[in-house]
Structure formats: C-alpha cells, structure tokens
Amino acid sequence: MRHGQWILRADDAAGRSGARIIDGSALARRIREEVAADVVRLDAQGIRPGLAVVLVGDDPASAVYVRNKERACREAGMAGETISLPASISQAELLAVVDRLNADEDVHGILVQMPLPVGIQADAVLRRIDPRKDVDGFHPVNVGKLLIGETDGFAPCTPAGVQRILIEERVPTRGAHVVIVGRSNIVGKPMAALLLQPGIAADATVTICHSHTRDLAGHLLRADIVIAAVGRPRMIGAKMIRPGAVVIDVGINRIEDSSRPTGHRLVGDVDFEAVREVASLITPVPGGVGPMTIAMLLANTVRAATAATGAPA
C-alpha cells in the first residue's frame, strides 16, 4: 500500500492474457453475511432492522426486484414489509403511505420502487421520505451530504456497491482517471461524487460522459477505470478500452436469444467477451454489480436502524 492506496498485483497489470473476472455475487454474499451478523447483534439489544418497500402498479420487472429485496431481508433476519398499491392510487394517497412509514418506529428504511405510474411525481415522493430512512440515497438531503463529503447520509446502493468492489479488489484510485459513461441521478452522478471524495477507493480524477459527449472513444482510451452505466447493450467495445484498464459494467440489458428457453438473455453496456481480452479486471453481467445493489441496501438499512436507536455501531 502506498499513501493509503493500493497497487495492483503484477498478474493484474497490463499485458496479462485476459482480464480477471470480478465475482460480484461472491462479494455480495460476504456483505450479506456481515449484515446478518449485525442483525444478530442488534437483535440482542432488542432492535430488529426493518425495511419497507412500496410497490405501485404491476410492472413485471419491478415486481421481481421487490421479491428479491424481500427475500434478502428475510435471509438476513431483518423485518421486511412489501406494500403493494394499485396503479390507480393518487399522489396524495401515496404520500400518506410514506408519511405513515416515516412515523413508524419499527421501520428504519423506506424504499419506493421506481418507476412510478404516469401521473405521480416521483420527485415529490422521494422528497417526502424521511432522509434518515432514505436507504436508497435519493433524497436531496442525502444527495447533498454525498456531494460535500459528509458520511452520515446514505449513498445510492449501486454506486456504493461499485465503490465496495474497488475496495475489495484493491483497485488503486488515488490520482487515477475514471471515466463514467452515463450521468443519471441513480448511478453516474453519485458515482462521480463518491470517487471525488478523499479516502480509500476515492481521490480520483473523474470524467462523466453522456449522449452529447464528443469523441467518447478518446475519453475511454485515456481511462484507468471505466464505469459503464448508460443502458445500451454492448456499446463499449475492445477498441475503446486502454490495455490494462479496470472495467466495471453497471448496465443490465435484455436482448433476444433464441438459444435460451426464455428467448432472451442479459448483457451489459460492455462487450464482455471482447473487452475481457484487453482489460485487467472486469465485472460480468449478470453476476457483477447487480448483486451488490441489494447487499448495500441491506447494509444501509442496518446503518439506519443503528442510528435511529442509538445502538453501538
């Protein structure tokens, strides 16, 4: 370690044959085991962390995500509640549900699953959540804390998961050039804010690229670390990656595949098979960043329960 940062091992350096694949699923399991241990510790103090997930409407993908979150809570020993509401619900009625959860001392984390039906202003709903229970990290108070470097708020789960991957893989970030492709409020912007702060898996020089960026390939070829979060299947190819770069693929895209029983398969924003030949480290899709998102959601909920009850950290 040098100046609080890591140096990649020699076998991870540029020039090795093929990238080492980061197993996000294994890391997520370790984090969930840590969360479960924290839940046992809190339970001994009479505290059971509780997460409430609000699902509005019948979007199939949202329903799958919510079931996965509910199962993860149960496996960690946490209290998990899913509140299913009809798509016809009014904004006032939905806000009343959020108000009830804000006032419930047994609920430490609140997550309103996006997207919301047409006619409901998502921003108004997110702002209504108590920032101390905003374990998704989307309330303006938590966004502001992240931007100015305060650590008592909540970072969005996917960027937090990416940063944890960088920590666990000992990827050197101090002074490194990180190129983020995508400027969403969910991934791109908070990811940049995390990496710009002082500290481990941070202190980076960050470039954010988006749909109006000129010469995307030129920016990517100068990157030590590439984080793809744009939602376009396999748009980043091998010729856009500098040999030896670290590639983190946040994208989850469904494409047709007649060879699969389902008729489709999931791919990332990166052309995995091509890019793995030039990168030093790479996350797969699925099995990379995706599992980390739920793991960090559970970790945020335990943090919220600890802070709300004054339990020893």
Q: Chain-centre distance of CA 83, in angstroms? A: 22
Cross-strand partners of 249? 228
Q: Of 185, 109, 186, 202, which is closest to residue 149 (Cα–Cα)?
A: 202
Question: Among residues 136, 203, 269, 271, which one is catalytic?
Answer: 136
Cβ-contact 53, 83 below 8 angstroms: yes
Residue 131 DSSP code:
G
Q: Are 157 and 300 in contact (CB under 8 A)?
A: yes
Write down the catalytic residue from 12, 69, 133, 203: 69
Catalytic one among 5, 12, 38, 113? 113
Starting from the edge strand earliest in sequence, which strands make up the sheet with 246-249, in order? 20-21, 281-282, 246-249, 225-228, 177-181, 205-209
Spatial CA neighbour of 21 closest among 242, 281, 297, 298: 281
Instruction: Report the C-alpha gap between 109 and 118 in whole angstroms.
Output: 25
Please confirm, yes or no, whether 136 is among the known catalytic residues: yes
Catalytic residues: 69, 113, 136
